[in-house]
Amino acid sequence: DTEVTQTPKHLVMGMTNKKSLKCEQHMGHRAMYWYKQKAKKPPELMFVYSYEKLSINESVPSRFSPECPNSSLLNLHLHALQPEDSALYLCASSQDWGERANVLTFGAGSRLTVL
Amino acid sequence: GNSVTQMEGPVTLSEEAFLTINCTYTATGYPSLFWYVQYPGEGLQLLLKATKADDKGSNKGFEATYRKETTSFHLEKGSVQVSDSAVYFCAPLGNEKLTFGTGTRLTIIP
């Protein structure tokens, strides 16, 4: 298995809703990432988990809450989002992280629309 | 921190034309360098990489050479195909982070 699987592919939510994005990989990778990509922009790093511990939080607002239940799963819990949070959310994984990260494998993304 | 300057797009070429997408970077030390590609409606895929000076990464007819003296990693392909239409991102890995360039949208017309 050489894939990163993200669900759902599309999500529409209101500003008062609570929802979650899910990401799964079975490559034995020990680092997992959340990126946010606005239209016609490059991906921006949000969070990095290494060995199931949060290693990097790029000053992301608390309405985004990451969770890494085990080495194969990464969630992003969403609460009280704003319309400007509408974007493509990409999950990625790598064998290790930091300078040893080498290649990141990306999922297809979850397209979020906040009404 | 790292920064990367990538050729502005969009770029439109005819099939079988020669492609160059310029990329220069600023980073401390000697970062690994990557080109990622994003096809419409998809996530990013690794296209090629180089981990040290003078290394040449290659894949699917694309090539890029790590030029330490000019801090560049330009992407080239000798003969593009319609299926190469996508957005291409240059990305150095330095200071424990992968930093993406702004992306270059490439459209190949038959």
CB-CB neighbors (< 8 A) of B34 in chain A: 103
- CB contact under 8 Å between A90 and B96, yes or no, is no
- CB contact under 8 Å between B96 and A108, yes or no, is no
Which residues are CB-contacts of A99 (< 8 A; sequence separation ≥ 6)?
B32, B93, B94, B96
Fill in the amino acid letter for A16.
T
CB pairs under 8 A between A and B: 52
Q: Nearest chain A Cα to B30, which residue? A: A99
- CB contact under 8 Å between B98 and A109, yes or no, is no
Positions of E strands within A16-114: 18-25, 31-37, 44-50, 53-57, 64-70, 73-79, 87-94, 105-106, 110-114
Counting as low any pLDDT under 50, the low residues of chain A are: none
Q: Record the tokens describing residue A104, joined without a space.
A: 């990141």
For residue B1, pLDDT beyond 90: no
Q: Are strands A44-50 and A53-57 parallel, antiparallel or unpaired?
A: antiparallel
Please state the rounded mean pLDDT for residues B15-42. Answer: 92
The pLDDT assigned to A99 comes to 65
- CB contact under 8 Å between B34 and A103, yes or no, is yes
Sign of CA dihedral A56, A61, A67, A71: negative
- Give me the percent of chain B exceeding a pLDDT of 90: 76
Interval B74-110: pLDDT, tens: 999 999 999 999 999 999 987 778 889 999 999 999 9
Residue-averaged pLDDT of chain B: 93
